[in-house]
């Protein structure tokens, strides 16, 4: 099992593939098309997100399995959609606390608006104060949980990639145990993933004006490699208790 992180490798590994330009270009093209036609009820954007999520998951699986050819071919679109949907489900479940807290912020403001139109000024003022207090409290909790979630996601996605099943990725205790084994690693991975998306999309825009989607696609590839590495390192630290990578389905 891998016991040290190679952060730089996540940014350079695609170039070891002889067809890397084509594969990255296809990924960027899918992202570009998804964003360009997102006005169609967001369906193209969702489809692009699922495809790239599935592509990233396959990269993570290959890193965990120690395979040499890490960039998948763009052939099995059905398989990529399926993998991408599983990634979406895992992300949605872990994001539920944020969704609930966001609703907790919204409801008091709605109540305050209703009170302003149908009650006395004192009642409306009281509701507004309550809404503001709830908003501040919930926003603080959301910020803290968002950091925690950013560290959990690489471990959860690693579980998903390694087992090929959603269930293990939702075993919060096991996922937290992985993060606790190497907390600094998962924090760095979360930060690098976010920075990669921001910097690479900016570089893409600066180079050709419409290159941001290609930068985002490359950032997903980078993050997926980092996720696989982090999972392997944390598994080694915890005694190799994590599941081995699922067999290839592509």
DSSP conformation class of 240: S
With CA atoms as reference, report the closest residue to 225 among 18, 23, 66: 66
Can you tell me the distance from the alpha carbon of 10 to that of 78, in angstroms, rounded to the nearest whole number? Answer: 26
Q: Domain map of the chain by residue range?
A: 7-92+154-237
pLDDT digits (tens, 9 = 90+) for 176-233: 999 999 999 999 999 999 999 999 989 888 887 678 999 999 999 999 999 999 999 9
How sure is the predictor about 237, in pLDDT bands with cuts at 50, 70 and 90? confident
Q: Is 25 in a helix, a strand, or coil?
A: helix
The mean pLDDT value for 155-171 works out to 97
Contact indicator for 230, 158 with CB cutoff of 8 Å: yes
Residue 65 gets the label, from left (phi > 0), alpha (psi -120 to 50) or beta, of alpha
Residue 153 gets the label, from left (phi > 0), alpha (psi -120 to 50) or beta, of alpha
Cβ neighbours around 33 below 10 Å, total: 15
Contact indicator for 89, 37 with CB cutoff of 8 Å: no
Alpha helix (H) ranges present in 37-76? 43-65
Tokens representing residue 3 in the block: 């016991």
Residue whose tokens read 């040290």: 4
Contact indicator for 167, 237 with CB cutoff of 8 Å: no
Can you tell me the distance from the alpha carbon of 186 to that of 107, in angstroms, rounded to the nearest whole number? Answer: 34
pLDDT digits (tens, 9 = 90+) for 31-84: 999 988 887 778 899 999 999 999 999 999 999 999 989 999 999 999 999 999
Cβ neighbours around 171 below 10 Å, total: 12
Residue count of the chain = 250
How sure is the predictor about 1, in pLDDT bands with cuts at 50, 70 and 90? low
Can you tell me the distance from the alpha carbon of 30 to that of 48, in angstroms, rounded to the nearest whole number? Answer: 6
Residue whose tokens read 């599983």: 86
With CA atoms as reference, report the closest residue to 98 among 143, 149, 142: 142
Can you tell me the distance from the alpha carbon of 242 to that of 117, in angstroms, rounded to the nearest whole number? Answer: 57
How sure is the predictor about 128, in pLDDT bands with cuts at 50, 70 and 90? confident
Can you tell me the distance from the alpha carbon of 71 to that of 194, in angstroms, rounded to the nearest whole number? Answer: 21
């Amino acid at each position: 099992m891998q016991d040290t992180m190679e952060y730089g490798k996540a940014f350079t590994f695609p170039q070891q593939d002889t067809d890397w330009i084509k594969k990255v270009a296809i990924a960027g093209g899918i992202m570009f098309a998804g964003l360009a036609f997102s006005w169609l009820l967001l369906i193209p954007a969702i489809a692009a997100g699922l495809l790239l999520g599935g592509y990233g998951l396959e990269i993570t699986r290959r890193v965990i399995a120690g395979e040499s050819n890490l960039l998948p071919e763009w052939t099995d679109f059905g398989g990529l959609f399926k993998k991408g949907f599983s990634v979406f489900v895992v992300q949605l479940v872990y994001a539920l606390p944020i969704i609930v807290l966001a609703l907790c912020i919204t409801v008091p403001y709605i109540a305050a608006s209703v009170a302003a139109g149908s009650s006395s000024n004192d009642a409306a003022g009281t509701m507004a104060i309550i809404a503001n207090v709830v908003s501040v409290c919930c926003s603080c909790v959301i910020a803290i949980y968002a950091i925690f979630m950013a560290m959990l996601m690489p471990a959860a996605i690693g579980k998903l990639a390694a087992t090929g099943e959603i269930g293990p990725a939702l075993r919060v205790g096991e996922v937290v145990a992985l993060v606790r084994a190497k907390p600094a690693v998962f924090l760095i991975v979360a930060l690098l993933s976010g920075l990669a998306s921001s910097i690479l999309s900016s570089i893409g825009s600066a180079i050709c004006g419409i290159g941001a989607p290609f930068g985002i696609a490359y950032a997903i590839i980078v993050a997926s490699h980092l996720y696989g590495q982090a999972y392997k390192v944390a598994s080694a630290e915890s005694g190799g208790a994590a599941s081995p990578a699922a067999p290839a389905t592509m």
